[in-house]
Amino acid sequence: MDGILLQILNGLDKGSAYALIALGLTLIFGTLGVVNFAHGALFMLGAFCAVTLSRIISLSYETIDPNRLDFLGNPAKINTPYVYDFFGPNMGASIIDWAVPLSILFAIPMMMLIGIAMERGLIKHFYKRPHADQILVTFGLAIVLQEIIKFYYGANPIPTPAPAALVGTFDFGAMLGLNPGTVLYPYWRLVYFLFSVVLIGGVFAFLQFTTFGMVVRAGMADRETVGLLGINIDKRFTIMFAIAACVAGLAGVMYTPINSPNYHMGMDFLVLSFVVVVVGGMGSLPGAVLAGFVLGILESFASTPAATSIVPGINQIIIYLVAIVILLTRPRGLMGRKGVMEE
């Protein structure tokens, strides 16, 4: 029981990342009809927004400490962050400590700008091109983006810890009357799950309850008719692309304390996220979210020693096996709509 509960929890945070990326992918596909293979790179860019802000906040000036020596035996250079001088050492240390959550404020405008630049600068030229062309150009863009990040930040993972107040584990075992200490779950993963629920809820509410969202949904259903009504649907779709980029970016920002970001992290999620989109149903936003969580949980269970001892390697193929079964039994995915990619 303890193990099952723990794997469900693990699946939730993994599923959160899948769901957020898949949600953005589906938004872009549903609005612009573009298969965006650069979406994983947007997740990675979001994570590097956190790294960048963390570095900006930690910008320091050097002083020489004659009492300490560096690795060459010279007087050591001591770095003191400017925020210590601006806000005092305690407040300065707290600001640096909370760099990841603060990065959300930095990432939102950055990712919106990146999204608009991507859509206006490159992707709009491929609206009327076959999906194969879109895949090639966006995949190429993803590689370019990750190489740029590698050039400036290196290939090694960069530690980006959670605030000290959110380091530690929550004992679900003790809370539920099970053995204490057997169902421990890191606070930050809990934060990540809750954050993703709020973000997903926010996107759905935006689409459901705002006029802008209503127009976008109408455009997704019948782009031509909305255009004939005199509404500049292209402009709204560009904004939706920026919002999708922002969702992926924020997913990346909050993921950095879970795994140290590196230039390749987007690619690690990209293929799985596409499987999530297909399993959920192309163009279906609830389907993407549902499939994200379901596949995340299944992947967690498949990684247990019990599962791998019965079927060796099941942890590496479970998502694809499920995808095959679902596509055989429900060709449009879990919540796919008729007519999407069927022409």
Partner 1 sequence: MSKFDLSRRGVLKTGAVAGAGLALPTVFTSGASAFTNEPGPGSVTLGFNVPQSGPYADEGADELRAYYLAVEHLNGEGDGGMLNTFSSKVLDGTGILGRKVEYVTGDTQTKSDAARASARSMIEKDGAIMITGGSSSGVAVAVQALCQEAGVIFMAGLTHSNDTTGKDKKANGFRHFFNSYMSGAALAPVLANAYGTDRKAYHLTADYNWGYTTEEAVRNSTEAMGWSTVEAVKTPLAATDFSSYIAPVLNSDADVLVLNHYGGNMVNSLTNAVQFGLRDRMVNDKNFEIIVPLYSRLMAKGAGANVKGIFGSTNWHWSLAQGFTTPDGTAVAPDAASAAFVKSFGEKYGFPPSQAAHTCYVQTILYADAVTRANSFNPCDVAAAMEGFEFDGMGNGKTTYRAEDHQCFKDVLVVRGKENPTSEFDLLEVVEVTPAEQVTYDASIFGGDLGTCNPGA
Q: Which of 94, 64, 98, 27 is nearest to 241 (CA)?
A: 27
Q: Which of 7, 9, 19 is nearest to 248 (CA)?
A: 19
Residue from 20, 299, 323, 336 touching partner 1 (CB under 8 A): that is 299
Q: What is the rounded CA–CA span in Å between residue 134 and residue 137? A: 5
Torsion angle of C-alpha atoms 295, 297, 300, 304, degrees rounded to 10 = -120
Closest approach of Cβ 18 to partner 1, in Å?
Answer: 11
The residue count for binding partner 1 (CB under 8 A) is 51
Q: Can you spell out the DSSP letters for 107-158?
A: HHHHHHHHHHHHHHHTGGGGTTS-HHHHHHHHHHHHHHHHHHHHHHH-SS--
For tokens 């690690």, name the residue. Answer: 268
For tokens 């255009």, name the residue. Answer: 227
Q: Which of residues 274 and 301 has its CB atom nearest to partner 1 in the complex?
A: 301
Q: Which of residues 205 and 321 has its CB atom nearest to partner 1 in the complex?
A: 321
Distances (CA, A) of 151 to 72, 76, 143, 261: 27, 28, 12, 14
Closest approach of Cβ 290 to partner 1, in Å?
Answer: 20
Residue from 101, 157, 213, 286 touching partner 1 (CB under 8 A): that is 157
Residue from 6, 20, 118, 279 touching partner 1 (CB under 8 A): that is 6
Residue from 305, 329, 338, 339 touching partner 1 (CB under 8 A): that is 305
Contacts of residue 145, Cβ cutoff 8 Å, sequence gap at least 6: 38, 41, 44, 45, 266
Assess 89 for contact with partner 1 (CB under 8 A).
no
Assess 268 for contact with partner 1 (CB under 8 A).
yes
Give the length of the chain. Answer: 343
Assess 264 for contact with partner 1 (CB under 8 A).
yes
Residue from 29, 48, 139, 188 touching partner 1 (CB under 8 A): that is 188
Q: Which of residues 103 and 238 has its CB atom nearest to partner 1 in the complex?
A: 103
Binding to partner 1 (CB under 8 A): which residues in 92-131? none
Contact residues toward partner 1 (CB under 8 A) are 2-3, 6-7, 10-11, 13-14, 68, 70-73, 76, 150, 154-159, 161, 167-169, 181-186, 188-189, 258-260, 262, 264-265, 268, 299-306, 308, 315-316
